[in-house]
Amino acid sequence: MKHIKNFWFKNRSIILTIVILSLTLILVYHIIPDKTDQLEKYGELIQDSKGRIIKATLNENQQWCFTPLQYYFIPTKLKTATLDFEDKWFYKHPGVNLISLIKAFFINLRNGRTISGGSTITMQLARLSDPKPRNFINKIIEIMQAFKFEIKYSKEEILAKYLNHAPYGRNIQGYRAASLFYFGKEPYKLNWSEASVLAVLPNSPGLISPGKNQGKLVRKRDRLLKKLLLRDLIDKDTFNLSILENVPDKIYSLL
């Protein structure tokens, strides 16, 4: 008992700090909202036995967003391209990449305006599920939501929730609808060029979308393909063939 008392008196400030921080984190975890369930709004997509679409409808938000074929399975090419473009350290960070946030802060400070947000995919999911005006306070809330998601969900669940509802220009939400409208095919049939186009679209869907700013879309796709080549994720032949492909300049009719 004496040893316990001595330990307490010598370390009580550290122990109290740990207890307070732990209780604070538990409290914050339960207070910070998780609104990802509100994203689960899909239109109807009916196909025949050969995969031909016979009916497609908007969801209740007047968006084209379809139930994924397999919710937690993301086609390899799209997954690889998206992570390389959006969040290379996705599987290593706890929801927030502090280095990216600091880098974004100085980039924005130097330019006098917001150019980079430094957001991880987890933080982008928080923004998608709970849209708020972009300011410092809401950025802190977004960071706390990201931490909560990392505790509550697996990495694969977070990635799937993001890609199943990411904005791809116009009123197209989710990678499956984007693949069908822009390329006329299911996502698992995408080639590297097509997957790279979809990987860069959510970054600025209002500015870059097929049929608008085509040159910028091509340059962003090609830069991503070059990164994939340099990281040995694709070979030279694949790169050369991919950059020769046109980017979509129209949307396919689903019916």
Identify the CATH number of the domain in which residue 122 sits: 1.10.3810.10
- pLDDT for the residue 239: 98
Q: Which amino acid is at 104?
A: A
- Which parts of 136-244 fold into alpha helices (H)? 136-152, 155-163, 175-183, 192-200, 214-230, 236-244
- pLDDT for the residue 27: 63
77 within a domain of the structure (yes/no)? yes
Is the CB of residue 8 less than 8 Å from the CB of residue 15? yes
Cα 96 from Cα 98, distance rounded (Å): 6
What whole-number percentage of the chain has pLDDT above 70? Answer: 84
This prediction's pTM: 0.86
* pLDDT tens-place string over residues 209-241: 777 788 899 999 999 999 999 999 999 999 999
Q: What integer is the mean pLDDT of 152-178?
A: 95
In the structure encoding, which two tokens stand for residue 210, read together?
Answer: 């097929």
- pLDDT for the residue 122: 97
Q: How much is the mean pLDDT over the chain?
A: 87
111 within a domain of the structure (yes/no)? yes
* Domain extent at residue 239: 35-244
Taking every pair of Cα atoms in the chain, the longest distance, rounded to a whole number of angstroms, is 80
Around 106, how many Cα atoms within 13 Å sit in the side-chain half-sphere? 5
In the structure encoding, which two tokens stand for residue 152, read together?
Answer: 């509550």
- pLDDT for the residue 99: 81
Cα 245 from Cα 214, distance rounded (Å): 13
Give burial (CB, 10 Å; 0-12/13-18/19+) of 254: middle
19 within a domain of the structure (yes/no)? no
15 within a domain of the structure (yes/no)? no
- pLDDT for the residue 22: 57
Higher-confidence position of 194 and 9? 194
- pLDDT for the residue 183: 95
Higher-confidence position of 172 and 104? 172
* pLDDT tens-place string over residues 12-54: 677 666 666 656 667 667 788 899 999 999 999 999 988 889 9
103 within a domain of the structure (yes/no)? yes
Domain count of the fold of the chain: 1
54 within a domain of the structure (yes/no)? yes
Q: What integer is the mean pLDDT of 50-70?
A: 92
Of the candidates 200, 236, 191, 238, the residue with the CA atom closest to the CA atom of residue 218: 200
205 within a domain of the structure (yes/no)? yes
Give burial (CB, 10 Å; 0-12/13-18/19+) of 7: exposed
The total number of residues shown for the chain amounts to 255
